[in-house]
Structure 1
Amino acid sequence: MERRLYDAAVQGSKNSLLDLLPLLDRFTMDCYPDTPLHVASMLGHLEFVNEVLVHKPELAKKVDSRGSSPLHLASAEGYLEIAKSLLRVNPDMSLVCDIDGRNPLHIAAMKGHLGLLRELVDTNLWAARVLMKHDETILHACVRCNQLEALKLLMERISDHVFLNYKNDGGNTILHLATAAKQTEIVNFLTSSPSIDVNCVNKDGCTALDLLSQNQRDTKEKEIVESLQRKEATRAKDKPV
């Protein structure tokens, strides 16, 4: 990237950008994946972002060497107003996945940026259904990152039985993951939902209850077992044939 333009993006200097507008043309070519818009979106320079989008809105579609768009970077940092500007120019970028198989909604959920996640979901709910690597849903990502509030937000918008009980490539549902990680709050929340199947089995033939020892040695395990059993959870060997 031309040093002067890079410095302007780092500083968020709209005046410097206006002096360097002819240099933006080169970033529409594929040989320049990293753009000033990426830099400004990552650093939170809203005015600079908006000025770039006025003159070169197509830069919102560019991805860097890791497949990240400016929207990915803004989502990672939780910059809601920048995300709104980028979405106005190209709402379909919420569907684009980086080299790790994550779209901007996945990233916002994993980071727990609730306001931004809500904006992304309202713009394109379908993007929340895009699968990540290992056939995991955005709900799996919330559990892995222990983001209960993001999980609640998403389950308010997507409540169908199939999605909530979707199994990753190891056959694990979100309840399996939360139970294995002893995430008591998440397990309690999940078991309060009538759409969660507490007796799904994974590829190893285990239900969520099977992932806990029969003689619970700590309070977390005891609380999770009680929560599961209130929903009539069983171990796989005890399931009716």
Structure 2
Amino acid sequence: MELLMEASQAGNIDGLYAAIRENPNILAQIDAVPFVDTPLHAAASAGHIQYAREIMRLMPSFATKSNQDGFCPIHLALHKGHIQLVIWLVERDSDLVRLKGREAITPLHYVAEQGNLHLLDRFLLFCPKSIEDVTIRNETALHIALRNDMFEAFEFLVGRLHWDCHEEARYWEKRILNWKDVTGNTVLHIATSKINPRQLVKLLISCIVDVNKKNGEGWTALDYAQDESQAEIRDLLCSAGAVGASSLPVVDNSASFLRTDQKLKMAAEVGDIQGLYSIIKEDQYLLERIDQLPLTDTPLHIAASKGHTQFALEIMRLKPSFAEKLNQDGLSPMHLALQNQSFQTALRLAEVNGQLVCVKGRMAKNDKVEALKLLFGWLELTGKNKVLNWIDDEGNTVLHIASRRNQIEVVRLLIGLVTYFPSVCFIIREILYDFLPFVHRIEVDLNMKNSEGLTAVDILQQEGNWTFG
């Protein structure tokens, strides 16, 4: 072991293999110890990149192992300032940015504390979700940067949250900017208590920040700006709707006496994802209990019927089986989304699981016709309705095919779309047409002939279905 550690501290790859020849199991023996300084710890601490690469190739698990002081190799490399080695480690495994060391401090937390903008940028580029991580003090990277007066780093992190364009960006901006540390302080509380907080406060109130959050002492940010010297800060906060804690209305705590299933239903009805996770934290087996009920309105049913797409996708990710569950009326979440014309929600659910359009509901009827309604609605919205008159190799349009197969409901749908899409056709035509000139009315050509010289009407007459009503 001594030979190996000397080689690691010196970055001597030949010495590494000499130690392995002496004891072929030496790396596995080290890996079996729960808390230990591995050869990678030694190399990271000394900044030996080539040696670190070699030892990582031989024993990748060393990268996530903590030593007796609670530090992993990447933490040691950061503490010693070996930036190129740190970058190589996160390029190889981006999850190392989220690796929690002593006091649950991650590499992102450390560089926020140091105000290293270069590494902040690289880390968030490699692992954007690392900004969600908190320490044992419940502090985010933003709390840490602000407490250590790393104002440029703080502004960079806020800007990164504000300008991110991925699907959940606004949700995470709101969640992180209003996150409370172990004492109940948000970053706005901390910013307001700084010596020259004007720029910080102005930045925060331009984002999705709750100016009236109370901390553990029951104070809002405005309560910290009562000195005469802070008149400008008070004006800024008041202009954003801030009030002192004593001026806030008394909160109705009756919701705290509701059962968790009732709270979850309320969260689903308004699409409150943060509320969803608060309820799960309170009752971690709630979703499993709901799933055991044979016929019930799950949170996914409720969100789908209300058109809360993001909530529906989140609950479906947590409990995929809800998507195929029927309620007491024999309807799945997809049925309800279509029934309530929540077309965007239905489309997103189908993107996640295409089989949902085949889930059978009441009267053993599946959603294939409903899926056609959804498809036609999308064609109407995007102005791609010309495809309805495209022909196959035999000259048949979709109307010919539906007529030939006696799919009367589809025929009705094709020649009477306004009946099925009052909200899409009427509203778009009467309200949005002036603003969206690319939207066109669906026009199915009833007189198109196939290669046999037959129109859809001819085919219906042959099948005896022209009087289908």
TM-score by structure 1 length? 0.81
Once the two structures are superposed, residues 11-55 of structure 1 have per-residue CA deviations (whole angstroms, 9 ceiling, x without a partner) of 333443343345444322225611121122123222221222232
Task: Tell me, yes or no, if structure 1 residue 212 matches structure 2 residue 225.
Answer: yes
With 184-193 and 24-33 compared, the bigger mean Cα shift is at 184-193
**Structure 2 residue aligned with 1:202:** 215
Task: Say if 2:188 and 2:201, in contact at 8 Å, map to a contact too.
Answer: no
Distance in 1 separating the partners of 2:36 and 2:199: 39
Q: Which amino acid counterpart does residue 175 of structure 2 have in structure 1?
A: V
Distance in 1, matches of 2:195 and 2:201, equals 11
Does the CA-based 8 Å contact 1:139-1:151 persist in structure 2? yes
The one-letter code of the counterpart of 1:193 is: S
Structure 1 range deviating more: 224-233 or 63-72: 224-233
**What is residue 98 of structure 1 aligned with on the other side?**
101
Q: Corresponding residue for 1:235? A: 244
Q: Tell me the CA shift for residue 222 of structure 1.
A: 5.6
Structure 2 vs 1, CA of residues 37 and 186 (structure 1 numbering), >3 Å: closer, same or farther? farther
Q: Distance in 2 between matches of 1:91 and 1:214?
A: 46
CA distance in 2, matches of 1:21, 1:156: 49
Letter in 1 for 2:97: S
Q: How many Å separate the matches in 2 of 1:227 and 1:171?
A: 22
Deviates more, 1:34-43 or 1:66-75: 66-75
**The one of 82, 85, 90 aligned to 1:82:** 85
Does the CA-based 8 Å contact 2:35-2:68 persist in structure 1?
Answer: no
Report percent identity of matched pairs: 30
Match of residue 52, structure 1, among 38, 52, 55: 55
Larger mean Cα displacement after TM superposition, 189-198 or 152-161: 189-198
Once the two structures are TM-superposed, the CA of residue 202 in structure 1 deviates from its matched residue by 1.8
Higher deviation after alignment, 69-78 or 141-150: 69-78
Q: In the TM superposition, what whole-angstrom CA distance separates every residue of 1:70-111 from its partner, at most 9, and x where no partner exists?
A: 122223344332123323443333333223021221122112
Q: Deviations over 1:205-241 (max 9, x none)?
A: 312121134333xxxx466445545545443345578
Alpha-carbon distance in 1 for matches of 2:136, 2:34: 27
Q: Distance in 2 between matches of 1:108 and 1:95?
A: 12
Which sections of structure 1, spanning at least 5 residues, go unmatched? none
Cα distance in 2 between the residues matched to 1:71 and 1:193:
35
- Alpha-carbon separation, structure 1, partners of 2:248 and 2:214: 10
* Higher normalized contact order (CA 8 Å, seq sep 6+, divided by chain length): 1
What amino acid is the match of 1:235? G
Deviation at 1:153, TM superposition (A): 2.8
User: Residues 29 and 239 from structure 1, CA distance in 2 versus in 1: closer, same or farther, beyond 3 angstroms?
Assistant: closer
Which residue is equivalent to 1:26?
A: 29
**TM-aligned CA deviation for residue 69 of structure 1:** 1.5
Match of 2:143 among 140, 143, 166: 140
Report if aligned partners of 1:60, 1:89 keep a CA contact under 8 Å in 2.
no
Residue 170 of structure 1 pairs with residue 183 of structure 2 = yes
CA shift in 2, pair 1:209/1:32, >3 Å: closer
Q: Is the 8 A contact 1:171 1:203 kept in 2?
A: yes
Amino acid at match of 2:192: T
Task: Please tell me whether the aligned partners of residues 87 and 93 of structure 1 are also in contact (alpha carbons under 8 angstroms).
Answer: yes
Instruction: In structure 2, list runs of 5 or more residues that go unmatched.
Output: 163-172, 251-469
Number of residue pairs the alignment of both structures matches? 236
Offset of residue 125 of structure 1: 1.7
Answer with 15-24 or 116-125: which moved more: 15-24
- Looking at CA atoms only, which structure, 1 or 2, has the larger radius of gyration? 2
- Quick one: distance in 2 between partners of 1:175 and 1:31? 40
The 8 Å contact of residues 175 and 198 in structure 1, kept in 2 or not, is answered as: yes
Report the Cα offset of residue 60 of structure 1. 1.2
Residues 53-72 of structure 1: CA distance to partner in whole angstroms, max 9, x if unpaired?
A: 23222211211123322122
Tell me which of 65, 76, 79 is aligned to 1:73.
76
Give the 3-state SS of the residue equivalent to 1:158 in structure 2.
helix
